[in-house]
């Protein structure tokens, strides 16, 4: 089968999945920690649990190129230090592309850190981190990756928090050639996740549980796909609000990391 035909089939499958009922039994495979993953409510709810010996993860059955992906997640409650809950897109191989949401747990009373990153051809190092303006453990909230040929937009409850614009013509890598699938996991990263690893997981609180529901995949070939969608004036105002009040790390501001000057994309408009 030719590469072009394979890609066409992947995009078509993405369209078909976008118009299907959100059901974890039909559309996802548990990829590791099988006994720590449970699908409930007729396929409408999936939970992952973490204990000291293992976490768990799952993956969308199909890949596609471009689209909008929504997932509702309720994060580990209480003392979640050392845990990482993820929701991301990834292709395969050492030169993979990836678009990340990672939720870094914290000790009780301290906020989660929402870590975002973009990889192209196996290279990332484009981290932005945020605190959230709500408690993500008491109710489900919607986390969205909107990926098209022009840009990647990260949204929380439909509020944009980050835009990564395609500047390949200026030499900035951008994921635009490799179809990706949805992945999620819950795992132990207490060597680095919470306050640089100073706060470890308290295994007396295990099992730690994260819950997922109401996923939606809108592939780029479907009629409602945001094939070139950017931010309107209201969206630009919202992202400025988020980044001024809740951003806690931006690689574009890390002059110690880039003593010779920040990457090219950091010098351009952030919200194109």
Catalytic residues: 98, 102
Specify whether the CB–CB gap between 249 and 104 falls below 8 A: no
E-only strand ranges, the chain: 28-32, 37-40, 45-50, 56-60, 67-74, 83-90, 98-104, 113-119, 128-130, 141-147, 151-156, 159-165, 181-188, 208-219, 247-250
Cis peptide before 207 (omega within 30 of 0): yes
Q: Rounded to an integer, what distance in angstroms lies between the CA atom of residue 134 and that of residue 150?
A: 30
Specify whether the CB–CB gap between 154 and 242 falls below 8 A: no
Rg of the chain (C-alpha set): 18
Specify whether the CB–CB gap between 26 and 43 falls below 8 A: yes
Q: Rounded to an integer, what distance in angstroms lies between the CA atom of residue 262 and that of residue 272?
A: 18
Specify whether the CB–CB gap between 242 and 159 falls below 8 A: yes
């Amino acid at each position: 089968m030719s590469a072009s035909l394979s890609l066409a089939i992947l995009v078509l499958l993405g369209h078909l999945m976008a118009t299907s009922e959100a059901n974890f039994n039909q559309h996802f495979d548990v990829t590791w920690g099988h006994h720590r993953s449970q699908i409930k409510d007729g396929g409408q709810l999936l939970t992952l649990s973490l204990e000291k010996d293992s976490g768990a993860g799952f993956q969308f059955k199909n890949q596609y190129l471009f689209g909008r992906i929504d997932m509702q997640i309720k994060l580990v409650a209480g003392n979640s230090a050392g845990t990482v809950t993820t929701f991301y897109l990834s292709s395969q191989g050492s030169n993979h592309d990836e678009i990340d949401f990672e939720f870094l747990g914290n000790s009780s009373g301290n906020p989660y850190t929402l870590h975002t990153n973009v990889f192209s051809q196996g290279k990332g190092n484009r981290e932005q981190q945020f605190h959230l303006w709500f408690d993500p453990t008491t109710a489900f909230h919607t986390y969205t990756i909107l990926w098209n040929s022009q840009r990647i937009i990260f949204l929380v409850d439909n509020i944009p928090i980050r835009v990564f614009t395609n500047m390949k013509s200026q030499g900035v890598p951008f994921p635009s050639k490799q179809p990706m699938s949805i992945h999620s996991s819950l795992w132990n990263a207490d060597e680095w996740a919470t306050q640089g690893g100073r706060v470890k997981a308290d295994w007396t609180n295990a099992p730690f549980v994260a819950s997922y529901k109401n996923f939606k995949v809108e592939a780029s070939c479907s009629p409602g796909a945001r094939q070139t969608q950017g931010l309107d004036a209201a969206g630009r105002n919202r992202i400025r609000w988020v980044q001024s009040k809740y951003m806690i790390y931006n690689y574009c501001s890390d002059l110690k990391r880039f003593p010779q000057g920040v990457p090219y994309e950091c010098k351009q408009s952030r919200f194109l």
